[in-house]
Amino acid sequence: MTIHAIIGCGRVAPNHVDGFRALPGWDVAWACDRDPGRAAGFAAEFGLGRATAAVEEVLADPAVTSVSVAVDHAQHHVLTEQALLAGKHVLVEKPLALSRQDGERLVKLAEQRGLVLSVVSQHRYDPLVVSVARWLREGRLGTLLFAQVSLEASRPADYYADSYWRGTWAGEGGSALVNQGYHCLDVTRFLLGELEVKAAIAGRRRLADVIETEDTLSALLLAGPTPVTLNVTVASDTLWRTRLELTGSEGAVCFDLDHPSTLHRATEGVASAEHAEEQTADQTGPAPGIDYYGISHRRQIANFAAAVETGAPLVADARTALGMIELLEQIYGAAESART
Ligand SMILES: NC(=O)c1ccc[n+]([C@@H]2O[C@H](COP(=O)([O-])OP(=O)(O)OC[C@H]3O[C@@H](n4cnc5c(N)ncnc54)[C@H](O)[C@@H]3O)[C@@H](O)[C@H]2O)c1
């Protein structure tokens, strides 16, 4: 049995337990949270054998092969480094780190030690996203003319007030973009390649009294010659909707990351019959946790486990995540002089 441990027993942690428990030959043995009551409660709820508030105790356990790091953004690099130095493979929640230097150090450390380091980018594994990537490769949209990417989410004042890290530059490193908007930006990069930042603007449109970070951000990006507009907000009254619309000279597609089985729009000749078959063949049952986290933590965790066991290539490798940190830094940098 290969043993995994969870560090950080908050909102997203159930998706990690579920993903590793779904794998033959794997189990999750430890719940670690610096709040001992939370660690114990989580271990009891999910039937994990051991609970602790001390990361060192988990990392000292020779039975532990790998860990999930699912804490606030500011500590990702600290705990990931500790785990790599202890010889553990690491699946860390996004973002890899809050600065390029910290991210680079982690990537190099994992490479030097031959350890798997993956950063959660679960939507890259959504069957619909995989299909759209193939259609783009096959040129079914013709010349891509523009892409429109948006996230509308609702995050009430309590969501920030009840958290020790959200809504702060030190703890979260931004808000609407680096946290909720991360996924649609990551999928855009996955589909269209590297993005150049032309302009950005950010502000606090509704949560000015609550957070110090942005609740709304817009950016104009370029994927090669193709303009990409990005709009993200956590100040809307819609709980969650992430939409990508790609318009080409020979076709268009529109889909939402939060409805991973639905293609809202595909002009004739773009979507293929195999797409419907993939969707049907790929029903893994409802994921645990909050539904808009999507259906693909399990898929990414299976890819991570295969990388640990057989050296299989990762779809979401750490170098990809390092590129996301650079892009986020550039967008925030461009927005700094243009707050609304
Ligand atoms: N991929 C997704 O869809 C998705 C969804 C939600 C959250 N996330 C990411 O997951 C991470 C965690 O988010 P969350 O919503 O679960 O946060 P949360 O605030 O609900 O939970 C974080 C937990 O980490 C614990 N913690 C903090 N420092 C610790 C330490 N040094 N050692 C052990 N435990 C510690 C806290 O006590 C808390 O219980 C963030 O990076 C977030 O962006 C990803």
Q: What is the pLDDT of residue 236?
A: 97
Work out which ligand 1 atom sits closest to the CA atom of 79: 31
Name the percent of the chain in helix, strand, coil, to the closest 5. 40, 25, 35
At 194 the pLDDT is 97
Token pair 């773009």 in the structure block, residue: 270
Task: Enumerate domains of the chain plus CATH numbers.
Answer: 2-120 (3.40.50.720), 123-291+317-336 (3.30.360.10)
Distance 178 CA to ligand 1 centre (A): 14
| CA 93 – ligand 1 centroid, Å | 8
- CB-ligand 1 contact for 89 (6 Å cutoff): no
Q: What is the C-alpha separation between 83 and 87, in angstroms, rounded?
A: 6
Nearest to 250 by CA among 102, 332, 136, 106: 136
pLDDT at 291: 77
Of all protein residues, the one whose alpha carbon is nearest to atom 6 of ligand 1 is 12
For the chain, the residue count is 340
Q: What is the mean pLDDT of each run of 10 residues along the chain (340 residues)?
A: 98 96 97 98 97 98 98 98 98 98 98 98 94 94 97 96 96 98 98 98 94 97 98 97 96 89 79 64 65 86 98 96 98 82
* Short-list 280, 218, 299, 290, CA closest to 258: 290
| Alpha carbon of 255 to ligand 1 centroid (Å) | 28
CB atoms within 10 A of CB 241: 16
pLDDT for the residue 278: 62
> pLDDT at position 271, please?
79
